[in-house]
Amino acid sequence: MLFSSLEFIFLFLPIVCIPYFLIKNIKIRNGILILASLFFYSFGEPKAVVLMVMSIVLNYGLAVLMEKHTSAKKLFLTASILVNIGLLFWYKYTGLFVSSINTVFGLNIDVPVIHLPIGISFFTFQAMSYIIDVYRGDTPVQKKLSHLMLYISFFPQLIAGPIVKYHDIEKQIYERRVDIAKYSAGCKRFLTGLFKKVLIANNAGILWEGISGGDISTLSLGGAWLGAIAYSLQIYFDFSGYSDMAIGLGRIFGFEFLENFNYPYISRSIREFWRRWHISLSTWFKEYLYIPLGGSRKGNIRTYFNLITVFLCTGIWHGASWNFVIWGLWHGFFSILERLGLGKLLDKCRILNHIYTLTVVVIGFVIFAITDFSALREYLSVMLLNSNHMLINDSLIFSLRCNALMLIVAAVFSAPLYTLIRNKFKDNAVYALGEAVLFILLFVLSIAYLVSSAYNPFLYFRF
C-alpha cells in the first residue's frame, strides 16, 4: 500500500486515526499503531510479515539475554549481527553472489530466485541499531516486546525509512504529546511530500523512462543529460517526498522523526551532499561503521580506507547489482579526492564547486539507475563523449517544451526558497491564509493526478 494511493489516504489513514484520537490511553494507542502497522505491511507482503515479526522477537530476546548475562554480551551481539546480516544476504544478495561465482569461475549453478521482502533493509538496520546501542550501554534494554515491536514496525517509516534509531524515539513510545498543533503540522508535511512525489517525481520519472527506454542511438547529447537530470529529480523528490510523508504521519501520531533530506542539490561538495542526502542512512553508517573502524583518528591512509568501506557498503545496501557497488565507489572516490586537496581548490570558486558537485551526482545517478552494463556504457558514451555526434535534436526540444513547467517547479523546490519565505512570514495572518489555500490546492491537484494516472511507483521500495 503506497502512501500516495487513494486507499491509503481515504480508507486506511482515517480508519486508524479515528480510534487513535478518540482513545487517550497510551497503551491502547500503541496497540492500535502496532495492529495498523502489521496490517499495512501484510497488505503488500502477507508472508514477509512473519519474517519481520520473527526478526523483532529474536532481537528482543538477544537484547534481554545480553542484560542478564553480561559476561556473554559480545556473543549475543555477534549472534544478532550475524542473523540480521544473514537475513539481508539471503533475501537480497544470494542471486548476485551465485551469478558472480558463475561468471568468475565459469560455473553453471542455478541462480535462485528469492522474493525480496519490502523494506527489509530498513527494518533490519533499525533492529541492529537497537541491539548495538544496548551492547554499548547507550540505551537500556526494552523489557516490553510491544514497545520494540512498535519501534521497528511503525508503518510510516517501515517500508522506505527514514531509518529511525531507537535512542532517538525511545521516550516517545510511552510518553508523547498528541494535539491539534502537531496534527496540523503533520498534515502539512504529509501534503508537501504527496505533492513532491505525485506531481514532480512521477512526471520526472515519465520523462526519464521515455528517454532511457527509447533508442539510445538516436539520443542527442542534450537529450542524454536531460534524461539524467530527470532521473536525479525523480529519485530525490520520490524519496524525499516519501520521507516528508513519513515524518508528517509520525507527527500526526505524536512522534518526531529526524530529518532525512536537507536540500542536497545545493551542495558544493560530495562530502556536503552526503550530509544532506539520505541523512538517516549516512548517520547510521557513520555511527555504526565509520567510527568503529577508527573514523579519521588513525591517519590519512586508514581514513581513506574507512571512507571507501563505508561508501562500498552504502552502494551494496541499495541493491543486489554491481552498478550499485560502482555508484558507491564513485562517491567514495570523489569524497577522498576532496580530502586530498580538490575540495580546497574548488572552494576558491563557489559556482564551480556547485557545478562540479551536481555533475558528479547526476552522472552517479545514471550509474545508479541502469543495471544493464551494455546499456549503461552506451548511455554514458552519449552523455559524456557525444558518441552520436548530436548536441540537440527535435526530440530534445519537444521534451523540454512538454516538461518545462515540471522542471522549473522541481528546480524551485530543490532549493530552500519556500522554507526561507515560510520562516520569514510564518506569523503573518495573510501568509497563513495563503498557505492554507496552497495546501488545499496541492491536495486537490495530487488527488486529481492519482485518479487520472496509473504511473505511481516508489523507487526506494526495491531497497
Q: Which residues are catalytic?
A: 318
Residue 376 and residue 323 in contact, taking contact as beta carbons nearer than 8 Å: yes
Residue carrying C-alpha cell 515479526: 53
Give the number of other Cβ atoms within 10 Å of residue 183's Cβ: 17
| Grid cell at residue 95 | 542471486
Q: Where are the alpha helices (DSSP H) in 175-286?
A: 180-195, 202-212, 221-252, 270-276, 279-285
Question: CA nearest 57: which of 69, 67, 49?
Answer: 49
Q: How many residues does the chain have?
A: 463
Which residue is listed with cell 569461475? 105
Closest-CA residue to 202 (of 456, 29, 403, 454): 456
Q: Report CA torsion sign: 427, 430, 433, 437.
A: negative
In which element (H, E) is residue 342 found? none
Cα separation, 320 vs 97, in Å, equals: 9
What's the DSSP call for residue 46? T
The contacts found for 137-143 with CB under 8 angstroms, 24 or more apart, are 138/167, 139/166, 139/167, 139/170, 141/63, 141/64, 141/66, 141/67, 142/60, 142/63, 142/166, 142/170, 143/64
Maximum Cα–Cα distance across the chain: 71
